[in-house]
Amino acid sequence: MPFLLSPLPYPEDALAPAISARTVGLHHGVHHRGYIDTLNALVGDGPMSGMSLEEIVRKSGGPGAAPGLFNNAGQALNHDHYWSSMRPAGGGEPTGALQVRLESDFGGLPAFKAAFLAAALGQFGSGWVWLVWKSTAQALAVEATANADSPMVRGDVPLLAIDVWEHAYYLDYQSARAGYVTAVVETLLNWEWAEGQFLKARG
């Protein structure tokens, strides 16, 4: 079966005013769909046919890398994480086990937010900023990745993702990436989803 574009978990206008319906519609319906369509054409009936999106990302980004496959599979998967990382009337504070780890690994929510914003602004060109669970170190970390790269390639677990490609914010913020990232962090982050990802990663 070909890969399908995952539906948004909310209406296109649900993230406004932080992200407009126009931006969400273009981002999901054109950019995200484009990665899915190209991925299906590249996979075809080849050796990766029948694999999950996660498997293709890991295999095409590892030894014997296949850049075309990796770029489109990575972007398809990264966007799935991105849409899940936000919710209407989000933001606020995490709770439970994730809140405890943010305190121990970052020194609290304000320090995490500062590190997250710094990583987003420090990412040169297109890419992503992540809150990840580092499987080897058994700790939370903030990371930025370029283009279609994902922490999953290195065995880590994404808990939150923000797209810092210009198509994610240019219509609403022009070149003001800081305004976009701040709005997402303060009003849209889906801490409930992040907590679920964290608990699954911890087993």
Instruction: Please compute the mean of the pLDDT values over residues 129-139 and round it to a whole number.
Output: 95
Concatenated DSSP letters of 107-143: SSHHHHHHHHHHHHHH--SSEEEEEEEETTTTEEEEE
Q: Which residue has the higher pLDDT, 15 or 67?
A: 15
What would the DSSP string read from start to end of 1-40?
----PPPPSS-TTTTTTTS-HHHHHHIIIIIIHHHHHHHH
May I ask the CATH class of domain 21-84?
mainly alpha
Quote the DSSP letter at residue 160.
E
Class of domain 96-202: alpha beta
Residues with Cβ within 8 Å of 128's Cβ and at least 6 positions away in sequence, in order, are: 78, 82, 144, 145, 149, 150, 161, 162, 163, 164
Calpha distance 128→39 (Å, rounded) = 20
Residue-level length of the chain: 203
* Domain(s) of CATH 3.55.40.20: residues in the chain: 96-202
Which part of the chain is CATH 1.10.287.990?
21-84
d(CA 158, CA 164): 16
DSSP letter for 82, please: H
pLDDT band at 202 (very low <50, low <70, confident <90, very high): confident
pLDDT in tens, 141-175: 999 999 999 999 999 999 999 999 999 999 999 99
- Residue 65 has what pLDDT? 66
Mean pLDDT of 80-107: 96
Q: What local confidence, expressed as pLDDT, does residue 196 receive? A: 96
- Using one digit for the tens of pLDDT, what is the confidence trace for 7-44? 999 999 999 999 999 999 999 999 999 999 999 999 98
> What average pLDDT does the chain have?
94
